[in-house]
């Protein structure tokens, strides 16, 4: 396989002078595509999330410029000039949701049967468009098309146009419009999600585990380090108890002179 073929195999979308086009939906690359098909107007912005939702890996994001949360940053080990705080952009209310049901069957690209999929970002007009054909389990076929934009003339304005023509059937189509303010903000240090500021963490009594934040993940890593069977750091001094050189993976990564506990 040539280098060009390998690049085409891993390419998410084709790039034209004023268009970015996705001809085939790949669930494993959905989050990358969401970034490529973002819309912004210098005041607010949205990622290229599906209006009807998606049951696979996704990162929902609607943002307003200049709104950040400041959090103290923790490190498993720290050197001079490491930042004490980090600013993360806060996820605002998600105004994109339009849930689609055809005769009681919901559209979800992670499980539904779809064909003729196409998504395109017109960078000259600032319009994100998407088309697909949704085939229900009963073989009824429905064509759906979306258009989305955020206005530059009025920076507070965003709009979505949805067309749902049925093809050869008269089944009822149900649309549910929602503004979701409960979307979580992803912690970039761990690629996990965390609750928005002021929101209580998910309860473990309901069977749902609390999201792992960067601080919890780093604290857990520190606990693992203190239990390492070889080259264990001394908690009082922050240095390895064995003489250098030590064959433990921890000491190979961090020389003993600079190793410090959190």
Q: Residues 166, 220: one domain?
A: no
Tokens describing residue 28? 């494993």
pTM reported for the whole predicted model? 0.65
Min mean pLDDT across 49-58, 211-220, 239-248 is at 211-220
In a shared domain, residues 145 and 53: yes
Do residues 110 and 153 share a domain?
yes
Q: Are residues 177 and 220 in the same domain?
A: no
Range 90-108 burial, b when 16+ CB lie within 10 A, else e: ebbebbbbbebebeebebb
Alpha helices in the chain (DSSP H): 3-10, 30-36, 214-226, 249-253
Q: Clarify whether residues 142 and 52 are in a common domain.
A: yes
Q: Could you tell me which residues come within 8 angstroms of residue 2 by beta carbon, excluding any fewer than 6 positions away? A: none
- Let me know if residue 140 belongs to a domain: yes
In a domain, 54, yes or no: yes
For residue 66, being part of any structural domain is answered with no
* Residue 90: C-alpha distances to residues 44, 87, 93, 152 (Å): 12, 9, 10, 22
For residues 26 and 121, membership in a common domain is answered with yes
In a domain, 158, yes or no: yes
pLDDT band at 9 (very low <50, low <70, confident <90, very high): low
Judge whether 122 lies within some domain.
yes
Domain-located, residue 19: yes
Q: Classify residue 67: in a domain, yes or no.
A: no
Q: Which of 183, 200, 220 is the last residue of a domain?
A: 183
Which of 121, 148, 183 is the last residue in one of the domains? 183
Stretch among 149-158, 166-175, 222-231 having the lowest mean pLDDT: 222-231
Residue 164 shares a structural domain with residue 226? no
Are 177 and 111 in the same domain? yes
Overall number of domains in the chain:
2
**What's the pLDDT tens digit per position in 136-156?**
988 999 999 999 999 999 999
**CATH at residue 131:** 2.70.98.40
Indicate whether 48 and 127 sit together in one domain.
yes
Q: Which residues of 145-161 are buried (b: 16+ CB within 10 A; e: fewer)?
A: ebbbbbeeeeeeebeee
* Structural domain for 229, as ranges: 210-253
Rounded Cα–Cα distance for residues 108 and 258 (Å): 50
- Reference 183, options 53, 66, 86; nearest CA is 53
Instruction: Give me the mean pLDDT over the 67-80 stretch.
Output: 83
Q: Are both 23 and 141 inside the same structural domain?
A: yes
pLDDT at site 184: 62
Predicted confidence at residue 17, as pLDDT, reads: 87
- 155 part of a folded domain: yes
């Amino acid at each position: 396989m040539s280098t060009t073929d390998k690049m085409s195999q891993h390419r998410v979308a084709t790039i034209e002078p004023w268009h970015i086009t996705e001809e085939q939906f790949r669930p494993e690359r959905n989050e990358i595509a969401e970034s490529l098909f973002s819309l912004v107007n210098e005041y607010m912005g949205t990622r290229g999330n599906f209006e009807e939702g998606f049951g696979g890996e996704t990162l929902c994001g609607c943002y307003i410029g200049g709104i950040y949360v400041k959090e103290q940053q923790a490190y498993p080990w720290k050197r001079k000039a490491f930042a004490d705080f980090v600013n993360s952009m806060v996820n605002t209310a998600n105004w994109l949701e339009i849930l689609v049901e055809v005769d009681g069957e919901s559209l979800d690209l992670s499980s539904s049967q779809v064909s003729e999929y196409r998504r395109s970002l017109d960078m000259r007009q600032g319009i994100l468009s998407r088309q697909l054909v949704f085939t229900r389990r009963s073989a009824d076929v429905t064509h759906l098309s979306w258009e989305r934009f955020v206005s530059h003339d009025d920076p507070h304005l965003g709009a979505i146009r949805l067309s749902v023509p049925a093809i050869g059937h008269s089944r009822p189509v149900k649309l549910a419009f929602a503004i979701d303010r409960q979307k979580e903000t992803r912690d970039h240090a761990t690629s996990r999600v965390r609750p928005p500021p002021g929101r209580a963490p998910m309860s473990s009594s309901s069977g749902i585990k609390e999201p792992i934040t960067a601080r919890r993940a780093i604290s857990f890593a520190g606990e693992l380090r203190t239990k390492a069977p070889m080259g264990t750091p001394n908690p009082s001094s922050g240095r390895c108890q064995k003489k250098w050189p030590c064959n433990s993976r921890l000491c190979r990564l961090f020389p003993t002179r600079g190793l410090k506990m959190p």
